[in-house]
Structure formats: C-alpha cells, structure tokens
Amino acid sequence: MIVCNTDNETDKEAAYIDALVSKQVDGVILISSGSDPETLNPLISHDVPFVIADREFSADVADVVSLDNEQAGFDVTNYLLNLGHRKIGCITGPNNFSPSIQRLNGFIRAHKEWGGSLTIQNSSPVGSLPFRAVSLPSTGSGRTTANQARSSSSPI
C-alpha cells in the first residue's frame, strides 16, 4: 500500500498520480483535491482501476463512494445538543470542498431545528449564540484553526 498526501494541492496530486501510474499500482483510491476530471486522465489512459472517495465527480467519469455529509454534520451536532452541550464549534475543511460546505450546512440545520439563528463568519462568533463555525481557507489546517479557537479570548 502506498499513501500519498497532497495537502490539497492539485499539482502534487497530478505528480502523485503520475508516480503511481509509473509504479504500475494495482489500483487507486482517490480523495481528490478538486473535481477536475482531467486529473484522472493518466489513470484512465493506463487502465488503472480507481475509485473516488468523498468528493463529487460525475458518475460517468468514475465510481464514487461517498456519504451524506450534510446529514453527518447534522447528526453529530444534534447528538451534542441532545447531550446538553451548547458551546459547540464547527471547524470545516477548506471552503472550496463540497464535503466541508455540506457538513457546515448540517451543523447550521441542527442549530436552526433547536431554535437558534446563525450567521456564519470565517473564524468569528456565529450570531448572538455561543456557537462558532469556522470555514478554513484552502490552505488552512484543522489543527491550527482548533488551536487558534481554543486560545482565542472570545468564547467558542
């Protein structure tokens, strides 16, 4: 097994795909840094079997394995609210990835169903409620953002 981390950089992803093709791997599970089908051309042209995980690609381009990210964001937030937690932070992945947007939408929906109103602002408190939703810039890291939120003088 070979694991490659692209840090969400499309150039790195293309280089890794080329390297995997040149190593004649038996197959690839791809969690892509984007949704450009051109990225898949080396795999397709060399008949390398592949599946895309947790990214939106056209079904006619590749087999895709995914989950309902919005429902997952809703379920985890609702679970915490049901336990009585009220100061809940939501740190998403890069804001240009559909799973990040979908999970954040689930977080928002859960709060709305609990009667709250939310205004999302990157790295700032959400409305008048003690909740914070953070959407990372495309180069951000969840660990860095979580540490910044924990050390912030404003409550999460």
DSSP for 39-105? GGHHHHHTT--EEEESS---TTTSEEE---HHHHHHHHHHHHHHTT----EEEEEETTSHHHHHHHH
Query: Does 5 reside within a domain?
Result: no
Task: Identify the domain containing residue 24 by its residue range.
Answer: 10-65
Q: Are residues 86 and 138 in the same domain?
A: yes
Q: In the predicted model, is pLDDT for residue 135 greater than 60?
A: no
Asked if 107 contacts 73 with a C-beta cutoff of 8 angstroms, the reply is yes
Phi/psi of residue 5, each to 5°? Answer: -115, 120
How confident is residue 76, by pLDDT bands cut at 50, 70 and 90? very high
CATH number at residue 127: 3.40.50.2300
Percent of the chain with pLDDT over 90: 31
pLDDT, position 69: 92
Q: Are residues 60 and 73 in the same domain?
A: no
pLDDT, position 9: 84
Selected residue with higher pLDDT from 148 and 43: 43
pLDDT, position 26: 96
Q: Are residues 55 and 74 in the same domain?
A: no
How confident is residue 111, by pLDDT bands cut at 50, 70 and 90? confident
Q: For residue 38, what is the DSSP state?
A: G
Q: What is the mean pLDDT of residues 23-51?
A: 90
Query: Does 18 reside within a domain?
Result: yes
Candidates 76, 85, 80, 87; CA nearest to 154 is: 87
| Least confident piece of the model among 35-39, 49-53, 80-84, 118-122 | 118-122
